[in-house]
Amino acid sequence: MSKYLIKGASLYGEKVADILIEDGVISRIAENIDAADAQVVEAAGQVALPGLVDIHTHLRQPGYEASETVETGTRAAALGGYTAVFAMANSMPVADTAAVVEQVDRLGKESAWCRVQPIGAVTVGLKGERLSDIGGMANSTANVRVFSDDGMCVYDPAVMRRALEYVKTFDGVIAQHAQEPRLTEGAQMNEGKVSADLGLAGWPAVAEEAIIARDVLLAEHLNSKLHICHLSTKGSIEVVRWAKSRGVKVTAEATPHHLLLTDETARTYDPVFKVNPPLRTEEDVLALRQAVADGIIDVIGTDHAPHPAETKECEWACAANGMTGLEQALSIIQMTLVDTGMITWRDVARILSEQPAKIGRLEAEQGRPLAEGEPANIVLVDPKATRVIKPEEQATKGKNNPYRGMEVPGSIRATFYAGHPTVLNGELATPRR
């Protein structure tokens, strides 16, 4: 059926109305719509938002299918309310050519439960030495506009300059993983009191802040667009704030886990809490929340990073970095920012849908307003529901979830991707084909 009637939803947590979906488009929004031939979706007490867009997802395919696939990762995305995800380039082979990004694009069209937009690597093999085939990827059928070596930093300033210059020619963006490698050699967690207590090599905040400072200056010099991945420190916020005050074309993201968890979790020595960048201090967490509320941090990116059990169920020093989070992201944002009164549901739409789509150049189809004539990418969330996180019940292959056993607010009741329900009544329905 291509006709659905959402009854009694609260649009952006404000006005209550019905939403009629026909042939993939929102055809009507009004009170008490009567459409006898439409499938009814009861949504009283639920908040309707534009489908969520994740600017930072690791789908692992091709090459690391033991960790995740496009299909399993986007199943998790649909359950989290996402209608689009950007797939990071650190696959095997690395997405540094037109052929690889087109493969990811094809996998998305064939098996995904939401829109999959490939991100291209900045440098060949993520090695930071030579620029990848940026032009080829931009002109490919995947139409790549975001480039990132995420997982690795583009540490050479000359290479970074050339990358920023190149993408400027087609309105692209470089998404930087800000980590000065010489300052983080052997680092295991945030540098501070906890790392000293545990005897683990520290990862100083300045290693992130120094790269961000360098890159915003380069972006200003070149008048190019820069995006900062997973910003995690109070000092980084101030650098971005300063850059924005000067009109630099810089955007920044934070992750849900950096808005909630601190380096105190490392005292358990549980590698599920090992992540890059590391979990920081309570002071950093509170500063990040305020920066989201202030608009200094533009978007929330999950940095969903699934791993096989053997790479996490080991000693801390040997464990892989990364956490899953697509299925809980909206709940963590509700917990840390909405329920605390720092932002509204309309702000949630901005940071989890509208701005990510704009940064990734998908704004023509994703992150659109809930309005008549717009694509029917919609998520319905019950904000009063609560649930206990059980990683073994997740759709993602990765069970390395830091929220295990935590009771969180909010439940995704339905996700509509281009008018097709991928999730109904809180359960996976069918993919759109």
Residue stretches of the annotated binding site:
56, 58-60, 90, 150, 177, 230, 276, 303, 307
Cα distance between residue 200 and residue 192, in whole Å: 10
* 277: nearest Cα among 329, 207, 217: 207
Percent over 70 (pLDDT), the chain: 100
In a domain, 66, yes or no: yes
Residue 255 included in any domain? yes
For residues 344 and 199, state if they share a domain: yes
Residue pair 253/55 in contact (Cβ under 8 Å)? The answer is yes
The CATH number of whichever domain residue 173 belongs to comes to 3.20.20.140
Pairing of strands 25-30, 15-22: antiparallel
User: What whole-number distance in Å separates Cα of residue 421 and Cα of residue 408?
Assistant: 24
pLDDT tens readout for residues 270-321: 999 999 999 999 999 999 999 999 999 999 999 999 999 999 999 999 999 9
Provide the pLDDT for residue 1: 57
Q: Across the chain, which distance is largest between two alpha carbons, in Å?
A: 67
Phi, psi of 8 (to 5 degrees): 70, 30
Task: Inform me whether the pLDDT recorded for 65 exceeds 70.
Answer: yes
- The answer as to whether 310 is a domain residue is yes
Q: Name the strands in the sheet holding 115-118, side by side, starting at the edge strand that comes first in the sequence.
A: 52-57, 82-87, 115-118
Output the known binding site for substrate: 58-60, 90, 276, 307
Catalytic pick among 18, 284, 303, 382? 303
Structure tokens at 45: 């007490």
166-189 pLDDT per residue, tens: 999 999 999 999 999 999 999 999
What is the mean predicted confidence (pLDDT) over 225-242? 98
One domain, residues 131 and 150: yes
d(CA 398, CA 75): 12
The tokens describing 166, both together, are 């190149």
Based on the domain organization, do 36 and 104 belong to the same domain?
A: no
Please write the tens of the pLDDT for every residue from 381-411: 999 999 999 999 999 999 999 999 999 999 9
Residues 149 and 83 in one domain: yes
Residue 141 and residue 9 share a domain = no
Q: Are 302 and 351 a contacting pair, CB within 8 Å?
A: no
81 and 14 in a common domain: no
pLDDT score, position 2: 85
Q: Please give the Cα distance from 325 to 396 (Å, whole number).
A: 9
**pLDDT (tens digit per residue) in 5-62:** 999 999 999 999 999 999 999 999 999 999 989 999 999 999 999 999 999 999 999 9
Beta bridge partners of 300: 254
Whether residues 125 and 257 share a domain: the answer is: yes
Alpha helices, H only, 115-192 = 134-138, 157-168
**Distance between CA atoms of 224 and 249, rounded to whole angstroms?**
6
Mean per-residue pLDDT for 370-385?
98
Q: What is the mean pLDDT of residues 109-127?
A: 98
Which residues, at least 6 apart from 395, have a Cβ–Cβ distance to it below 8 Å?
72, 75, 76, 78, 79, 327, 428
Count CA within 13 A, CB hemisphere, residue 70.
27
Output the pLDDT for position 81: 98
Predicted TM-score (pTM) of this structure: 0.97
82 and 181 inside one domain? yes
What are the φ/ψ torsions at residue 66 (nearest 5 degrees)? -70, -25
Is there a contact between 150 and 88 (Cβ–Cβ < 8 Å)?
yes
Amino acid at 188: Q
Neighbours of 93 (CB within 10 A): 14
Is the residue at 217 inside a domain?
A: yes
Express the helix, strand and coil content of the chain in percent, nearest 5 each. Answer: 35, 25, 45
Question: Structural domain tally of the chain?
Answer: 2
The pLDDT of residue 368 is above 70 = yes
Does the residue 60 lie in any domain?
yes
Mean pLDDT of the chain: 97
Pairing, β 202-203 against β 189-190: parallel
Q: Are residues 179 and 290 in the same domain?
A: yes
Write down the pLDDT at residue 296.
98
Asked, for residue 275, whether it belongs to a domain, the answer is yes
* Same domain, residue pair 247 and 341: yes
Domain with 321 in it: 51-360
Same domain, 21 and 139: no
Which tokens belong to 382? Answer: 């019950």
CB atoms within 10 A of CB 423: 23
Which pLDDT value is given to residue 186? Answer: 95
- Give domain status of residue 368, yes or no: no
pLDDT over threshold 90, residue 433: no
Q: Which two tokens stand for residue 293?
A: 């509320």
Are 254 and 393 in the same domain? Answer: no
96 is catalytic: no
Whole-angstrom distance, CA of residue 203 vs CA of residue 185? 8
Domain with 382 in it: what CATH number?
2.30.40.10
Residue 267 lies in a domain: yes
pLDDT score of 363: 96
- List residues forming the annotated binding site for Zn(2+): 56, 58, 150, 177, 230, 303
Q: Please give the distance of CA 77 from its chain centroid, rounded to a whole number.
A: 10
Q: Please name every residue paired with 147 in a beta bridge, in sequence order, or none if there are none.
A: 120, 174
Residues ≥6 apart with Cβ < 8 Å to 268: none
Q: Which residues contact 391 (CB under 8 A, 6 or more apart)?
A: 324, 399, 400, 401, 404
For residue 370, pLDDT over 90 is answered with yes
- Do residues 86 and 57 make contact, with C-beta atoms less than 8 angstroms apart? yes
